[in-house]
Amino acid sequence: MQPDITSNVSDVLRFIQRGLLLAMIVAVAAGVAAFVSSSRLPQTFRSEAVISAVRSSGGDDRGIVRPLNDSAYRVAATSNTVIIATLTELGVENPTDQRVINDFIKKVRISTDNEGNWNDPSSLIRVAVSNSDRNTAALQANTLARNLIEWDRNRGRQTLDQQVASLQEQITVFDNRIRSLQAGDGAESEISALIQRRQETQEQLYAAQALREAAVGSLTIINEAIPELEPIAPSPVFNTVLAFLLGLFGSYGILLLRNALDMRIRDVDDLAKVSDLPVLASFPKLPNDTRRLPYEATSYLRTNLLFATSDAHPKVIVVTSAREGEGKSSVALSLAESFVRNNYRTLLVDADMRKPVVAGEYRINSLHQTSLETWLKNPYGSNQAASVPINGKYYLYVIPSFQPSAQAAELLSSGFRECLEIWRKEYDVIIIDSAPILQVADTLTIAPLATGTILVANQQKTDRRQVRAAVDILRRIGVRVPGVIATHVSRDSGQTTSYGYGYGLPEVDTKQTIIPETVTATKLSKTKR
């Protein structure tokens, strides 16, 4: 399990590294935009008045008003009754207009302390109001707090009004009963008892009437609102930090989505994982005027192939790709020249008969050289291979294709095996530039005959599904695939197997016309080292 975990961590780190520059640019831009826009917004001030709601252990406030819970006070503070009274006192036009009421409520914030903690004898109710003017905010908060307290007092008055009315009804009942007993010669003792009870009720009525005049409630203001010096909004620093973080993580979110939808090979490690094959070499994107790959990277590829095919001689290497434009021809040419410079008698065969490039690269004249098509039609005829000078002292032998052939698949299937048997006797290494696997079936004819087939993938355009499909096809027909090659790898990624383009021995000058020496198969056998 440890290798998998390590691999996943490495993938995450590479993803972070790839997107860091873009994410930082977006984050900084978002932060600057947030700071500038926040600095231009109007300021908002908030003032807060604090009210204490006193509770008694018996549940009644001095036997007068039963206190409410905190949520009830929050509802009361924003009720139409309290808000209309507040707006009226503030001198607002149309205080009963519901739109005016709603606009004011949006500026109000009611919060409570010790909510639900009925073991605490008191609770704090914070009445806060926001406004663009600090003095107005304080005035509105204090006015709203006073009207909430007045509402609570009115609630107490209503309670006491009910008590007074009830006591008055009781006194009326006592009076009627006493008069009835007196008129009917009732018992003196019963009349005296009723008179006593009426007197007690009358005393209760006097007390209730006195308390009503005092209008005692359960709310008391303890801190009035004062104008605040610092605004609560806008907050340029907070908005900047928030925008920066949103830009940073948002960028990575977009990149993550893009990567999830993007099926292209992302890097060398991704190619290895997708193909389930070792990466034999990786090459940077080449200038438009050359097909020559970096010398040291090509040497690295050659060494890897020698180890991978150490059990075979001569070595027949097919170079192919899933689709066109992957760089397979550049790999084939550079690899063949690398073998030549290391004293391997090497033959380069242009088996991509539908889009041949080798003849044009070496300026081989079709009037003087035998094409692969001629070889395939008559393998045992007087066929020739072109000898191309490399650095003045080495020779690369080439069998080119000249004109695109629509019969490539038929020709390769009928004569390539015989040609390969002839070439095996004359060369140490045979490099075959073949057609893309997923576009035509040409390569499927010759790949099983080779020592090994290497798959070239363009990191900037190759679809992962195409790589998997190509590898699966080769494996199904029993082709030996030593590994894959990555092309168009970014030089800044640190994943190329080269120190710099063109470092090493001089390459063939393809800008000058080369008139190659023609060598027959018989002549080649005589000059074989």
Q: Write the pLDDT tens digit of every residue in 357-406.
A: 999 888 888 877 889 999 999 998 888 898 899 877 789 999 999 888 87
Report which secondary-structure segment, H or E, holds 389: strand 384-390
The domain total for the chain is: 3
Q: State the virtual CA torsion across 113, 117, 119, 121 in degrees, nearest 10.
A: 30
User: Which whole-number Å values give the CA distances from 413 to 321, 373, 418, 455, 468, in the listed order?
Assistant: 19, 12, 10, 21, 25
132 belongs to a structural domain: yes
Q: Which of 480, 404, 431 is nearest to 332 (CA)?
A: 431
Helix axis angle for 268-275 and 464-476, nearest 10°, is 40
Determine the Cα–Cα distance for residues 279 and 64; give it in Å rounded to an integer: 88
Sign of the CA dihedral running 264, 268, 271, 273: negative
Determine the Cα–Cα distance for residues 87 and 83; give it in Å rounded to an integer: 6
Q: Of 164, 194, 223, which one is at a domain's C-terminal end?
A: 223
3-state SS assignment for residue 439: coil
Same structural domain for residues 195 and 250?
no
392 belongs to a structural domain: yes
Model confidence over 181-216: pLDDT tens digits?
877 766 788 888 888 888 888 888 888 777 766 655
229 belongs to a structural domain: no
Q: Where in the sequence is the domain holding 413, given as residue range(s)?
A: 268-506
Q: Residue 298 belongs to a domain with what CATH number?
A: 3.40.50.300
User: Which whole-number Å values give the CA distances from 66 to 114, 160, 200, 228, in the listed order?
Assistant: 18, 11, 24, 35
Helix axis angle for 2-40 and 236-261, nearest 10°, is 140
- For the chain, 529 residues long, give each residue's pLDDT as a single digit of tens: 344 555 566 666 766 777 788 888 888 998 898 888 888 888 899 999 999 887 544 444 444 456 677 788 889 999 999 999 999 999 999 999 999 999 999 999 999 876 544 445 467 899 999 999 999 999 999 999 999 998 888 877 777 778 888 888 888 888 888 888 877 766 788 888 888 888 888 888 888 777 766 655 678 899 999 999 888 888 888 889 998 999 888 888 887 777 666 667 777 888 888 888 999 988 887 776 677 777 788 888 999 899 888 888 889 999 999 999 888 999 999 999 999 999 999 999 999 999 999 998 888 888 778 899 999 999 988 888 988 998 777 899 999 998 888 788 888 988 899 999 999 999 999 999 999 999 988 999 999 999 999 999 988 788 888 999 999 999 999 999 999 999 888 765 555 554 333 333 334 444 433 444 444 443 433 333 3
Same structural domain for residues 298 and 400?
yes
3-state SS assignment for residue 127: strand
Same structural domain for residues 347 and 410?
yes
Q: Which of 111, 115, 144, 126 is nearest to 52 (CA)?
A: 126
Tokens of 436: 């893309």
Same structural domain for residues 246 and 377?
no
Determine the Cα–Cα distance for residues 432 and 399; give it in Å rounded to an integer: 10
- pLDDT for position 506: 38
Residues whose CB falls within 8 Å of the CB of residue 380, separated by 6 or more in sequence, listed in order:
418, 422
Same structural domain for residues 27 and 84?
no
Whether the CB-CB separation of 140 and 110 falls below 8 Å is answered with no
Same structural domain for residues 302 and 359?
yes
496 belongs to a structural domain: yes
- pLDDT for position 81: 93
Same structural domain for residues 314 and 178?
no
Same structural domain for residues 35 and 55?
no
Residue at token pair 């994410």: 23
Same structural domain for residues 272 and 137?
no
Determine the Cα–Cα distance for residues 281 and 301; give it in Å rounded to an integer: 5
Neighbours of 286 (CB within 10 A): 18
Same structural domain for residues 105 and 78?
yes
228 belongs to a structural domain: no
411 belongs to a structural domain: yes
Q: Of 261, 277, 309, which one is at a domain's C-terminal end?
A: 261
Same structural domain for residues 169 and 290?
no
511 belongs to a structural domain: no
Kindly report the pTM of this predicted structure.
0.56
- pLDDT for position 274: 86
- pLDDT for position 59: 42
CA gyration radius, the chain: 48
200 belongs to a structural domain: yes
Same structural domain for residues 118 and 186?
yes
